Structure 1
């Protein structure tokens, strides 16, 4: 007997008009999304609304009349078989958020995607539609095209700005004027620039320890240009001016400025030499092994180049940046670390499950966390004890005295690094775990 799908609907039964329910796709802030098929087998996404129903329907009605391949098309809306409000949309399986979480993208792809996002915004602006929630999760990738979707927050405005527009959106991507409930198309352009910055650097431009801290960073903070090459700094400096009047005043102006970066001698040389790399790589000094291996003592010591006391022959000069979201970026190695880790010491299987749990709940906004290799863990070691009485920077939580690596000594033993003693060893029982992920390369 088939089980009901979330929302109390039966699979392979009609859920809306002639559309057959196939599977549950996910839960959003305002509703559930299902995969459905029509009577000839074409797939669509059906969003069943749970909150802000009238607001979402108004946004959809504003967009339905627009015919453009830059926007996720809205097919229909009405009531499900269970009398819930729903919206039938074009089905696109891959969002930009999915892609960024799974793998890094190179600089050329980031540029192409950014131009695609701006072209979509241009369509909306031409029709006097303000989206108000531009972010990777609402941008859908179809081959080389980016389509803007999720119009629940969209609204029609009569001019460049509106005094009646309320502050909605996703915090990290919101423009400073959005917090004052008076904003317009410049806010969507700001959000697009935040997406571009994230594609290039692998991190969000405005961060904080909590919502108030993030908001403060957006309203008053300066952008971190360290992860950007010189060519990009003037562009993002203008994109993130607090006063909308000091930013690019049109989509065309933004596109022209972005394209001019591509024409700079430095970028052109990279293209000619087929060495186009993400901006972040220019700051990286050390490339560390990220794939786990299994090796006995002698081979492992040789691979790592260690003293007989299991300490490194040399120490990396780290370049740490506290991301204010319980993570630390080491710009010297291109790695992003948890500041803390597991609350208790756990066995190896539990450590692997801990990593999976981080990815399921998208810790710090990502689902590509992994267990570090010994080589990566050793890169954190300091030659002398720090103020936390450990051989690791005091930026990190001192609770994790020793941490599992992904490298194995045998089937039953894994290598680990001891931050309380400053060396590495192998273990068969329990350790803490600190997750890592790589910046885009």
Structure 2
């Protein structure tokens, strides 16, 4: 039984045939390029490149100085001008090539400008691809699309697309009823990359509009952006595979087996993903909230799919897994509102009037910035200690992101100054040391 259909050659024979065709085309192009007028055209192209380099070197500094004065222009326009500044030599080279090609077609035979026309077409296509791929934000994806587009336009202009397609289509493997060839893989990579780039552009644009909508809560904004990204990227991936002719139903069993394996191996990751969705849905925390988790105190910088970014007062950024926020005890200082009550403890001597101490403490706390006056401080006696009367001073703030330790320190300092002005003393434990048997000499000490 023949393993290959009658209309399909084995991959090895097809590869040998394609190599022979490529060698034939190589000899053909080499013969064309070694002709006298074609050599002249190559020399003209090289001379135009050198001239474009000189012109660009003279124009680029002036263009840069002019560009620095365009502060009020939109950002997209400035980005385009920056690309023009960076590709100045290529732009000048393309313009010079087409001017020479048009002039030679006007004054001499078209065959004497054939090579120059191909070079001009290649340079124009490469320049267009460079400008078009700048819209892709991801550097890896941008490079992939750019080099793939450069390869495709080069083969298209040189007329080698059919031969290349036949060669790549002959290199294939079969998985059941699914046939995967190199040509199909190339098509899938190009289409999926282009669709993902489009999905990224749409998701970024839509996310900016969602974040500007003040009627949507911050947690729901994050959830909407995440759902939008999953839908757009998933649609781009599956649509790209469908466009190149991949039968997704044939991969259902394989993808199911892979999914089961990944489910067992990525339990923590899946748990964090589900916990992140729960956090966004129940609105327990949101960007900007001040929370405490164990020894970590700070405000939420962003909500990720796997973790929550918390920035502390000392500039450290902690990445807390979403599962810890679901299963652990979290103190949200600004869950329903931004009001936070702080307590500080102090003591005064028994000889000080407790009514005066309370009034002075309350007035001192009111004089500290960040302490709220519409929720006035209160001071209470909480006990009689060994050497002092113990008090608690409670006050409210509305900006916990400004820190808690610093406001406590400012209130303590205000109490110190107020107590000194009013003659209120802060006792501290005192110890007396008595030396017994003072009449004994050194030699009379016990044990000697």
Given the two structures, how large is their TM-score scaled by the length of structure 1? 0.27
Task: Identify the structure with bigger relative contact order (alpha carbons < 8 Å, sequence gap 6+).
Answer: 1
Greater Rg, structure 1 or structure 2? Answer: 2
Q: Where is the helix percentage greater, Structure 1 or Structure 2?
A: 2
